[in-house]
Amino acid sequence: LVMIVAQSIAYAHEHGVVHRDLKPSNVLLDLDGRPKLADFGLAKDLTAQVSRGTTQPGFLIGTPAHMAPEQAAGDTSGQPAVDIYGLGALLYHLLTGCAPHTAKTLDAILRQIIDETPLAPRAMVADLPAPIEAIVMRCLEKRPDERYASARDVAAELERFLSGQPVQAMGE
């Protein structure tokens, strides 16, 4: 499912659109069980010649438990790397049943996102294969340049995992 969502995000990115709010409730399943990406209400059109309104610096864009560290720090530029993080957060949530960061207050969640590495998924799901955990954790890297370079790369990595091939996140 996440591989298909990653392909959808790759298509959006290739057309200059960054979703900025990937989370389980924004992935709908059609009657055949195929995922459909929904709610582009916070999306940013990177190709727009004229802005349809600007987001103030320091204003949070996205759902806190699933947002990238740069979003949590107030960066509203909407670069594609936020969706790479979002794909990781989505996959983490689907594999473990919880978001990568959870806390009782917004400030505590934002601090965790910015400063703390999420608990490794296999700490919660012991029989989770190491390669899928490596993919998730690479998507969830704090620095955007340490994540996958594109959503297309995430989709290809998930396809390698699903076909039993070595994944790049494992250093192979």
With helix as H, strand as E and coil as C, how does the chain read?
Answer: CHHHHHHHHHHHHHCCEECCCCCHHHEEECCCCCEEECCCCCCEECCCCCCCCCCCCCCCCCCHHHCCHHHHCCCCCCCCHHHHHHHHHHHHHHHHCCCCCCCCCHHHHHHHHHHCCCCCHHHCCCCCCHHHHHHHHHHCCCCHHHCCCCHHHHHHHHHHHHCCCCCHHHCC
Active-site amino acid positions: 21
Q: Any residues with CB less than 8 A from the CB of 58 and at least 6 apart, and which? A: 74, 76
